[in-house]
Amino acid sequence: MMTAPKITFIGAGSTIFVKNILGDVFHREALKSAHVALMDIDETRLEESHIVVRKLMDSAGASGRITCHTHQKAALQDADFVVVAFQIGGYEPCTVTDFEVCKRHGLEQTIADTLGPGGIMRALRTIPHLWRICEDMTEVCPKATMLNYVNPMAMNTWAMYARYPHIKQVGLCHSVQGTAEELARDLNIDPTSLRYRCAGINHMAFYLELERKTADGTYVNLYPELLAAYDAGQAPKPNIHGNERCQNIVRYEMFKKLGYFVTESSEHFAEYTPWFIKPGREDLIARYKVSLDEYPKRCVEQLANWHKELEEYKTAERIDIKPSREYASTIMNALWTGEPSVIYGNVRNEGLIDNLPQGSCVEVACLVDANGIQPTKVGTIPSHLAAMMQTNINVQTLLTEAILTENRDRVYHAAMMDPHTAAVLGIEEIYALVDDLIAAHGDWLPAWLRR
């Protein structure tokens, strides 16, 4: 009989996310006896997650054990899989700081977790702790595989494989499979009928091919149907989560211009480019339905909903959930049993996409089986898509260099190269903004930035 793995969850106070990941795990035969080690620095949130995970395990008929830890290294001891999902500095104070300081300098943001000043500051707060996890893994679970869900995904993943190339890791997001489901919903078709090939960088990957299966078993290009539905006002459908602020116009308009559909949401994409958010251009905000300050609004709503959900989980006799779209359990099952699976992951570009910088972090299809996580070669992507991605990779390159070499100048340079920031602010204004952000974040940032 196959032994069960140990799964360590760093950031286990993120109870809803823990519920989704482990709900999937407990419904896989090879994983349902796993030892789950929950780790968080917040003891209250950790205990809340413990209650939910125990009920999940019992409801699924799983027979594993759960341990709770406030010390990272103890949680990681002999782990087979390490799931990482946390936010250094949280919504308050750090996310609020990123938005308020940028707004004072005349720079509006939507999400601020991937690029721009918000993404840059989040990377500077986050990467040092990801490195500490890599250090501990090297010591107590060197053969484990890290499944990283922490943003800014590309910069975090890049910084880890640059400093700790021996750590087995993959950056995971749900935008590829999630957007495929959204597009199927927009056209009232079954998501399982879709076939696609996608590639690019995190939050800016494109469906190079997007097809649906017909009644006779052949596949046809879905793009003409999608474009016709948009032109006829039949797509996009209202937001699946009931969020009326996010209407997905930006992505459909970019689809019309580029000929390919991007994987991340309109509210994300609007701040990765120079075209949608400009001072005094309320007409653009209105036309493209850009939801400014979307992430802070979402955080406030999620915190309020979370307290309600938690009370329901605490009093429920059992917790039954539908499978999530997250890749984590699929990867664990494939690595543990050898049963092959295909996922989309963020990995080092080593001959995968020819016309993006080698060594940069790219998002491609990966085969997963007993041999590990094996990225697949894409080749050359359309030149206009590569050109757009390069503007984002410029920021990622400079920020990663900044933190690897402890070079404050490169932080300014990263902000200067950000497409949205450069379209709004002058050079001196960008320097002043970075200075104010560093001062406002204080000890949340590495000490070398304040020397």
Binding-site residue positions? 151, 173, 203
Residues forming the annotated binding site for Mn(2+)?
A: 173, 203
CA distance 394 to 133: 26
Q: Check if 174 is active-site.
A: yes
| Number of residues that make up the chain | 451
Residues forming the annotated binding site for substrate?
A: 151
53: left (phi over 0), alpha (psi -120 to 50) or beta: alpha
In 365-403, which positions are buried (b, 16+ CB within 10 angstroms) versus exposed (e)? bbebeeeebebeebeebeeebbebbebbbbbbbbbbbbb
CA distance 175 to 202: 9
The catalytic residue among 69, 129, 174, 268 is: 174
Which residue, 238, 86, 217, is CA-closest to 149? 86
Q: Are 226 and 261 in contact (CB under 8 A)?
A: yes
CA distance 265 to 363: 16
Ranges of H-type helices in 264-293: 266-269, 282-288
Q: Are 240 and 178 in contact (CB under 8 A)?
A: no
Residues annotated as catalytic (active site), given as ranges:
174
